[in-house]
A and B are shown apart, each in its own frame.
Chain A
Amino acid sequence: MKRLVLLLVVTALALSACAVPHERGDATVEKTAAREAEVTAVFNRYRTVRNTAIELLDAKPLSIVESGPVLAIDTGSFEVSQRLATTQKQDTASVDVTDVQTPRFTKYPLWFFAVVRDVKAGVNRVQIFERETAVEPWLLVASPETLADTPIPAIRREGGRALTVKPDDGVGMSMSATAAAKAYATSLADAASPEAGKVADDSFIKQMRATAETNAKLDGVTFAQSWGSDPVKYVLRTTDGGALAFVTLLRLDTYEVKDGLTVSWPEGTPQQAFLSSGISSAGKLRYFHQVLMYIPGGSGKPRAIGQYGGVVSADSQ
């Protein structure tokens, strides 16, 4: 009996060592966005380039690791630092990547989702790295931040890959990611609009409305605020059947000041850095806000659970 068992073990080992060639009958053209080693390399490269930019106090190096609204927001931040002659903090802590989700794609662009914990800042950076084409590098295209104690909905996986949702697909949810982004922007622009009731009245909306009301109360100043949303590109399916969408909002603050008056901002603020002499006639401030929007499964209202934004440009007369 022992000999028989020994023979079976030897046979099993011998056969398991053979990689049997086989035809992939159901071959599909697809690719996992990034392997683990590739993700690690992307993060290491990003940190190296970002620290170089901080050291130089110049946002130009960031263009090889960032793109889109993130690059615009960070460039604005660097510009503020340059104008205010302040230094930014280098990222020397070890990268604490708590979650990586890599969907599969049948064609470029490829992108993957990652959560990076910043213990000192007490936030989680929920990031999207994207590779637009095969000859381009991985770039950070979204990086909203959530409070460290804010739960991030779990991403649904199937066959070892994270499931994505088409931005216009609202099946199983109160609305699609694209519709949620538009409703959210509309709600920010006009609290009395019918769209405002379709999204949750979260802390981001309250904060933005409070800021707008404060600016509107300035004597001799006509203040207007408008909101728009970029097309939604990155949406992941959550385990509850909902979706986690990365929404980029464009905010435009317009000031018209009566003659003889000047609107100015406190020292050290981004607005002051962009408009050091203030607005004496008319001026505009443009902001990008990247919002991490959670659309619950079922009939729950979409709500923002994180955001990252700042001034990206300004002009005045």
Chain B
Amino acid sequence: MRKTLGWALSVLGVLVALLGLAVMIVLGPDSRFSTGPHPIETDGIAIVTAPKVISWADVQVDLRAEVPVSKPVFVGIANSVDVQSYVGKTRRLEVTGYQRPWDVSTREVKGQVNLPGAPTALDWWIVQSAGRGGASVSTELPDETVSAVVLAVGSTNLSGVEITLAYGIKGGFYKGVSLLLLGIAAVWFGLSLRREGAWWTTEPSDEEGTLIEEQVVYVYVDEDGVEHEMSAEEAAAYDVVEESVEVVDVSDHSSEPQPEEEAEGAEEAGPDSASEVADAVEPVAPRIPGVLTAAEIAAGAEPEPVPGPTPEPEPEPEAEPEPEPEPEPVPEPEPEPEPEPEPEPEPEPEPEPEPEPEPEPDPTPDPEPSDERVVYVYVDEDGVEHEVSEDELAEFEVVDEEEES
């Protein structure tokens, strides 16, 4: 999803940047096209664009009229309703069509030789200018029908008039620059999105940006303490002895839910099985000193002496330490466990504390191993397990016959 979004953003950014570049190139630093001066043949007193000839809005228009011998001239732009009322009965040259850059069609309209009033005395011009020898106006066309007029002021006429027209986008060059920068930013953003997927999830505290994928992995631990991964169907044949939740940063893994990380102590299983172990073993918690593993118990190993009560072999991220409800094998009353601080939650709590790798991962483990061995242990007041022989077992009371698979 992020890659798709990143690609889309990058493509969009390229298009926007190209658009901005095109705007810059086409409009140039002055943000407009310019054409003229173009002579217009007329001996009248008015040149007027017909309604709807100017059909664009939000276009910056600069119009300049120049007449010889410093004759007074007026240039203005106004709503076509006003202009038609003003020059409607006056003889005029009406511009009936216009094509860029400069292709105009005109027609002569007969009428009175004078204007009904001085143009400079009217209050409805959107923009107006008057001067001797020339006049110019500049405005952004409004969203209404407007007409442009060039008028002779006083008793003169417009013979010899030349028109210069420029049109563009106000600040268009800089808007092109903005578009270019915006496009570049979008491209960069898209690249970041594609390359740095963790861009979104760098902060686990960002609850909206963290993506959590839930994956259930079933493993069983054989008598050697080696974990075997199995399918959910296979797991149905076993009793669930432990459930643990492990948070794994998927950004360093492939999208496949295969555990690829090499387990610690893989070399303990022998050099020939190391690669297979790496495919089957999850990252494990460090070994807790003083606590025998199931494999050590099976091998008859003695527990290491520990100065105090050992933490639970399978630490749960609980806020309060739970007293171990394990029955005391000795007749003495069980001492109250000392409240001890909860061990630091492991970053990746292993459901099985056994780090032993599996020499030969078998996807279909034998649910009933043929070589079955019974191990008797007792747990002293410190919670340390001690293996006892069958002969010594008579001295103890069997309190738990849980079969460990």
Contacts and interface: CB of A to CB of B under 8 A. Distances in A.
Interface of A: 1, 3, 7, 10-11, 14, 17-25, 27-31, 38, 105-108, 110, 133-135
B143 interface: yes
Contacts of A3: 189
Contact of A29 (B57, B80, B143): B80
Contact of A24 (B55, B83, B123, B179): B55
Interface string B63-84: 0000000000000000111111
Contact of A108 (B85, B143, B175): B85
B225 interface: no
Contacts of B175: 17-18
B200 A135 contact: no
A28 B52 CA distance: 8
Nearest to A7: B189
A21 B82 contact: no
Contacts, number: 82
Interface string B167-202: 001100001001100100110010000000000100
Given A7-B189, A19-B140, A28-B145, A135 B122 contact: yes
Given A1-B206, A14-B178, A23 B56 contact: yes
B209 interface: yes
Given A1-B206, A29-B51, A135 B80 contact: no
Contacts of A106: 81
B144 to A, nearest CB: 7
Interface residues of B, number: 38
Residue picked from A7, A20, A31, A105, most chain B C-beta under 10 Å: A31
Contacts of B124: 134
Contact of A7 (B143, B144, B185): B185
Contacts of A10: 182, 185
A18 B121 CA distance: 35
10 tightest A-B CB contacts, nearest first: A134-B85, A135-B117, A31-B81, A134-B86, A108-B85, A19-B58, A21-B59, A29-B51, A31-B79, A135-B116
B140 A135 contact: no
Nearest to B79: A31
Nearest to A109: B85
A29 B81 contact: yes
Given A21-B169, A134-B122, A27 B52 contact: yes
A31 B144 contact: yes
13 contacts: A10-B185, A11-B182, A14-B178, A19-B140, A21-B59, A21-B169, A22-B56, A24-B143, A24-B145, A27-B52, A31-B80, A134-B124, A135-B116
